[in-house]
Amino acid sequence: MLEKMGIAAKAASYTLAQLSAREKNRVLEKIADYLEAQTEAILLANAEDVADARRNGLSEAMLDRLALTPSRLKAIADDVRQVCKLADPVGQVIDGCLLDSGLRLERRRVPLGVIGVIYEARPNVTVDVASLCLKTGNAAILRGGKETWRTNAATVKVIQQALEECGLPAGAVQAIESPDRALVNEMLRMDKYIDMLIPRGGAGLHKLCREQSTIPVITGGIGVCHIYVDDTAEIDPALKIIVNAKTQRPSTCNTVETLLVNQHIAETFLPALSKQMAESGVTLHADDLALAQLQHGPAKVEAVKAQQYDDEFLSLDLNVKIVADLDEAIVHIREHGTQHSDAILTRTLRNANRFVNEVDSSAVYVNASTRFTDGAQFGLGAEVAVSTQKLHARGPMGLEALTTYKWIGFGDDTIRA
C-alpha cells in the first residue's frame, strides 16, 4: 500500500513543481471553500473520533487538540486563504554571481519533492501541511494518529476533490488511514519516495523517527517553555503575560510550563501570582523555597517532582522555582528546556540582552508571551511544524522551510580551463 502511495506522490510532485503561483492559489482557494461547504461532514467525522477518544481515556489536553468546532474549522479555512496571499518562494533567486570563467551562477528556490508528516491528535495539521506543501509545489503523505482517522479521511477527501477539479493528481495529498503502527516503521524507510520527514507528537515519536528513519528528519514541537521573572520586572504586566502564556490554550507546545522567579522579587511577586493563578484555575508545582511562600495562598499548590521540569503538562499546571539570579535561570533552561520558546520579563536592557544571547532556543522573547511561536503569528501563514533543531529550518516552519535550492549555471559555450 505505501509503495503505491509513494509512487503516486513522487509522480504528483513533478507536476506540482511546474505550477505557477496563480495555479497553486486556485487550488488553495477551492480547498478553503470546500472545507466550509462540507463543514457538517467533517464535524460529524470529528465528533465520532472525539467520542471514541473519550471512551478510550484520552486526556483532556489531547481531546482539546483533537476536537474541531465550526469556528475552528472556519479558522483553518481562513488560514488556507492566508497562505494564498503569501509570496510564492519557488523560483526566487536567492543570490548569484558572474565567475571569472564567464559562467553566470544563480541559486534558485525549488520544492523539496515529497514531504512526509507523522502527527497525533491534531486534525488541523492535515490542512496546514497540505496547504503549505501545495503552495511550495510539494506532494504530501500524511499519517495522523489513530484518534483522528475519520477526521483526516474526511478532510483529505475534500482536498483531493479540489485537486481533481483543478486537473491535478489526487496523489498530491494522501493520508495513511490505517491505525497499524507497523506502517509507521515502513514509512520511516521510504527514502526512495519521501524527501523530508516531519514528526509532530510526543518525545517517543521523535525518538523513534530519529533512530529508525532513513529519511532526513526535522524534529521539534516538544515545548518545555520557560519564563524568567527578573528582579526588575513589574508585577502586573508580568502576571498578564504569564496568564496568557499558560491559559490562552494550555494544550499547545508554546505554552509556558516552568516559571523561574528571581529571589529578590519572590516575596512580593509570589502572593500576587497565587491570587492570579487561583482565579485562572492553575495548579502550581513549587520547589521548596517557592512552596514555603505559596502554601498559604489561594492557588492550589503542591511540591514539584523532579521529572516535571522535563515534561510538558499541556494543561493548567505550572512549575514555579525560585532562582538566585539570571545565571541560575539560564542554567536551568539549558538543562531542562527543549530549545522551543523561552522568555524573560525584565526592565533591564543588559539582562534582556544576556538572556537573548545566552538562551539557545528557536524563539526567545523579551517581555512577551511564549504563545507567539506560531507560523500565523509570525506572518508565515499556517505552519507545518516548529523546528527546535538547527539544520535547514528553525522555529515555525513556513513556506521557505519547505523549499531547497539548486545551482544554475548559464554559459556561452563555456568550458572549464
Task: Output the CA angle 248-254-259, nearest 5 degrees.
Answer: 80
DSSP 40-91: HHHHHHHHHHHHHHHHTT--HHHHHHH---HHHHHHHHHHHHHHHHSPP-TT
Indicate the helix (H) or strand (E) that contains 323.
Answer: strand 317-323
CA distances from 149 to 52, 53, 133, 177 (A): 11, 11, 20, 6
- Report the pLDDT averaged over residues 338-366: 97
How many angstroms from the chain centroid is the CA of residue 152?
A: 18
Higher confidence at residue 384 or residue 92? 92
- Report the pLDDT averaged over residues 300-322: 96
In whole angstroms, give the CA distance from residue 247 to residue 102. Answer: 60
Who contacts 126 (Cβ-Cβ below 8 Å, separation ≥6)? 142, 144, 148, 151, 152, 155, 156, 159, 175
pLDDT of res. 107: 97
pLDDT of res. 119: 87
pLDDT of 60 strictly over 90: no
Portion of the chain with pLDDT greater than 70, in percent: 100
Q: Please, what is the angle between helix 149-165 and helix 21-37, to 10°?
A: 130
- Report the pLDDT averaged over residues 229-252: 96
pLDDT digits (tens, 9 = 90+) for 74-120: 999 998 998 999 999 999 999 999 999 999 999 999 999 999 999 87
pLDDT of res. 181: 84
* Confidence class for position 338, pLDDT limits 50, 70, 90: very high
* Confidence class for position 382, pLDDT limits 50, 70, 90: low
Q: Are 330 and 355 in contact (CB under 8 A)?
A: yes
Q: How many CB atoms lie within 10 A of CB 282?
A: 23
- Report the pLDDT averaged over residues 216-245: 94
Nearest to 245 by CA among 319, 355, 143: 319
Nearest to 325 by CA among 350, 351, 361, 292: 351
Q: Are 140 and 130 in contact (CB under 8 A)?
A: yes
pLDDT of 207 strictly over 90: no
The DSSP symbol for 217 reads B
pLDDT of res. 180: 84
pLDDT digits (tens, 9 = 90+) for 144-158: 888 889 999 999 999
- Report the pLDDT averaged over residues 39-61: 91
DSSP 155-213: HHHHHHHHHHHTT--GGGEEE-----THHHHHHTT-TTT-SEEEEES-HHHHHHHHHH-
Nearest to 194 by CA among 181, 180, 205, 184: 184
Nearest to 249 by CA among 312, 344, 314: 314
